[in-house]
Amino acid sequence: MVSRQEQKEQRRLLILQSALDLFIRKGYGETKIADIAKAANMSMGLLFHYFESKEALYKVLIQIGSEKLKMEMSFPDTSPLTAFEILAQDIFQLISTNPFAAKMFVLMENAHHLEAMSTDIKEMLSEADKLMEKSIPLIEEGQQIGEIRQGNPEALAIAFWNALQGIAQYIALHPEAPRPDAQWIIAILKK
């Protein structure tokens, strides 16, 4: 038997999943709170019991995505190239087994292009840029030991992370598509 608390958490998750699907397919501006309630098969009143507004719901989704981006770029006893291989394989595994995670890549990218978002949402979105910045010293280290190709480390970070971003977005919108091999992304960096 499902407890009352478990039922509340299941409803909250259903709302988040329904909103995420609509936000990535229709966009934030075109998604109405009534659309989310309908997709979650509940009344608007019940939805408002969980989230006070569409922006509050969007903010929770952005918080979830931002928390996942707060990973450390520290891989003790691992070469820089191996660290990027681990990152790419982990992300590919995540997006292949968890449709919600793949859709979060789409949401986070789309959110960067919204002008009318609150300051706190924009601050959360800056985590994606921080992740790219954190990877630059790792690329430089790999260049120094000769396992990562020469070139502008920031440009290499941009190429690596945006290749992952693009693949995650495509898989989110086309879940039946074949999965690229993580080594293809590593080839961007490999000397």
Q: pLDDT tens digits for 131-187?
A: 888 899 999 999 999 999 999 999 999 999 999 999 999 998 898 999 899 999 999
* pLDDT top residue among 141 and 128: 141
Q: Residues 3-62: pLDDT tens digits?
A: 888 989 999 999 999 999 999 999 999 999 999 999 999 999 999 999 999 999 999 999
Residue 148's closest CA among 166, 135, 131, 133? 135
Report the topology of domain 63-186: Tetracycline Repressor; domain 2 (1.10.357)
**Overall fold of domain 4-52:** Arc Repressor Mutant, subunit A (1.10.10)
Contacts of residue 91, defined as CB under 8 A and 6 or more positions apart, other chains included, come to 164, 168
For 140, the token pair is 């430089």
User: Contact at 8 Å (CB) between 46 and 38?
Assistant: no
> When comparing pLDDT for 166 and 125, which is higher?
166
Supply the pLDDT for residue 73: 67
The CA distances from residue 12 to 39, 59, 94, 101, 158, in Å, are 13, 14, 22, 17, 35
Separation CA 86–CA 80 (nearest Å): 10
Indicate the residue type of 50: Y
d(CA 151, CA 40): 48
Q: Which helix (H) or strand (E) holds 13?
A: helix 4-26
Q: Contact 79/58 with Cβ under 8 angstroms?
A: no
> Global pTM?
0.82
CA-CA distance, 164 to 30, in Å (whole number)? 27
| Rounded-to-integer distance, Cα 134 and Cα 131, Å | 5
Q: What is the pLDDT of residue 72?
A: 67
What was the pLDDT predicted at 44?
Answer: 92
Per-domain residue ranges of the chain? 4-52, 63-186
